Amino acid sequence: MNQLNALKQFTTVVADTGDFKQIAAFAPHDATTNPSLILKAVQKPDYAPLLAQTVAAHRGQPLDVVMDHLLVRFGCEILSLIPGRVSTEVDARLSFDTAATVARALRLIELYRAQGVDSSRVLIKIAATWEGIQAAAELERQGIHTNLTLLFAFCQAVACGQAKVQLISPFVGRIYDWYKKSAGAAWDEAAHAGVNDPGVKSVRHIYNHYKKFGIATEVMGASFRNVGQIVGLAGCDLLTIAPELLAQLAASDIPLTPTLSAEAAQALDLPPVQYNEASFRYALNDDAMATEKLAEGIRAFCVDAVKLEQLMLAA
């Protein structure tokens, strides 16, 4: 059995791509997208017509409306290839506006419904700012399920659990990147591999906390740089993986066993933790890595959203 099939025995495998023509080969259960992945896809010849068709069908409408139609078009194509859910992201420029995030999410859901897609198959991706988490809490109360992304800090995960969001996407690779860059020449790659990877350790901490205290929010490790990080989180609820790493897993027959389990987490001696707005903001501010990577991630998604709008204007 290859590693991909072995992983599927105890973790839900999710494809992290806008290039939906790559998805079928790996038979993932769910799929995730983001503005950067959609931008990357529409610049390929295979997807350029999809962009042109969407713009032509909604010409004259506000750019943000056309953007949402494009995101939903990609989401529908992806849903035709998988049995589970697709994650579609709210514009990152709304990351600090709770009401606008809720409104944009509801519009995305209505666009999906207009295409015959039940809302149970859609996760609305929202940046895990305080405002984003509050928007997700409101959406969950309305029966709209959410995926909180750009999650780097334990306080973000705790607040998401308190808000009863459906799923979180802690970013493994970007945490790893920060610590490696910070260490510079002193970085020891072998000493920080697998379960010792700082990104892997962060997700394990969150997973164990959730399972210890019966928090129903699903944990989906994201943003992987290498197969070792994926193997280090085998047993996590879900893992969203880029096609290149899915291919590496499919090509390997090295034995793979779970490193995480709910039963093991429940046996741990862990303190209960809760945050209000003030303590959340302080904890996030106190974590230099999370503060920097959250801001950087929002900025990058905003830049790519603008680039996508420019392509739509030119179409």
Alpha-carbon distance of 161 to 36, in angstroms, equals 27
- Kind of pairing, strands 12-16 and 30-32? parallel
Contact (Cβ atoms closer than 8 angstroms) between residue 67 and residue 61? no
**How far is it, in rounded angstroms, from Cα 238 to Cα 115?**
27
Strands (DSSP E) contained in 82-173 are 86-89, 122-127, 146-151, 167-170
In which element (H, E) is residue 221 found?
strand 218-221
Length of the chain: 315
Instruction: Given the residues 8, 125, 201, 307, select the one marked as catalytic.
Output: 125
Amino acid letter, 212: K
Determine how many CB atoms are found less than 10 A away from the CB of residue 276: 10
The whole-angstrom separation of Cα 25 and Cα 31 is 13
Evaluate whether 40 touches 22 at the Cβ level (below 8 Å).
no
User: Is 125 tagged catalytic?
Assistant: yes
Q: Mind telling me the catalytic residues? A: 125
